[in-house]
Structure 1
Amino acid sequence: MNEDTQPQPTAAEDEAVIALATTMLEAARSGDAATLLSLVDQGAPVNLRDGGGNSALMLAAYHGHSELVRELAARGGDVDLANDRGQSPLAGVAFKGTVEVARTLLAAGADPHRGTPSALETARYFERTEIIALLEQTPPAEG
């Protein structure tokens, strides 16, 4: 089948997908790990993004939900997936000043030098001294 002959989703199917995405992204914002992780474990996309390109992991990180960030990363959530503005989850955390979430992202392999501005640049701009110290311990990724 080519793209022109594949069945197109119905309006009801489109609405169901939108409802699922809304539920997942709201669960990420509010820290509702039970709901979000259950959906991911059932096959929902872990790197689902909102209209601004913010992934569930980005939203969980930005709103300070460290354990949820850890669990999303363990399920394949991309800790460096930038939003449409080029900001990484770690840069969002540097802006907010949430040290615990910064540690969680770094432990999961987040690169403080990715994104525009990078997490390190963001932390410096907002004078997040504890986060700067953490980020400066992480060398730039090769490649």
Structure 2
Amino acid sequence: MIADRLRLGPDLFPVDEAEREAFLRAAGVLSREDCPEGFAGHSAIWARDRDLLVGQAALVVLGDDVLRAQLVPRGREDLPVALIDALAVRAEYRETGLEERMVRTLVRGWAGAGEGLVYVGAAHAPVLASTLAATAPVFGLLD
């Protein structure tokens, strides 16, 4: 099974620019070097199937006070805020639950046992880190 061969980790980054560009093309994602405005890099993770780069994701944290007023719920101004950025998976690996595994790994690494608000996916849906931690993986259940 493909999912059994997948390895995740911050040390599985592209070996060179050519591998990175080939992966981004295969995943259908445009190359972008910068964090979204108002955010700063925190952590990144890559996934490989043997030697093939098959997935990437990054977690960036909010540092802009102007955006904070618009992104956090009223009364929770102290809540840490992050965004899952540069999430990309090769098309043939999207049915493995890899995207969800990468998101959960990044959020656990950032929030730990604490609370935080994470904007996830193309829709930038707000998700509390505690909710993500308290629910089992849903890949395959909601298809």
What TM-score results when the alignment is normalised by the length of structure 2?
Answer: 0.28
Kindly indicate whether structure 1 or structure 2 has the higher relative contact order, using CA contacts under 8 Å at least 6 residues apart: 2
Larger Rg: 1
Give the helix-richer structure, 1 or 2: 1
Q: What TM-score do you get using the length of structure 1 for normalisation?
A: 0.28
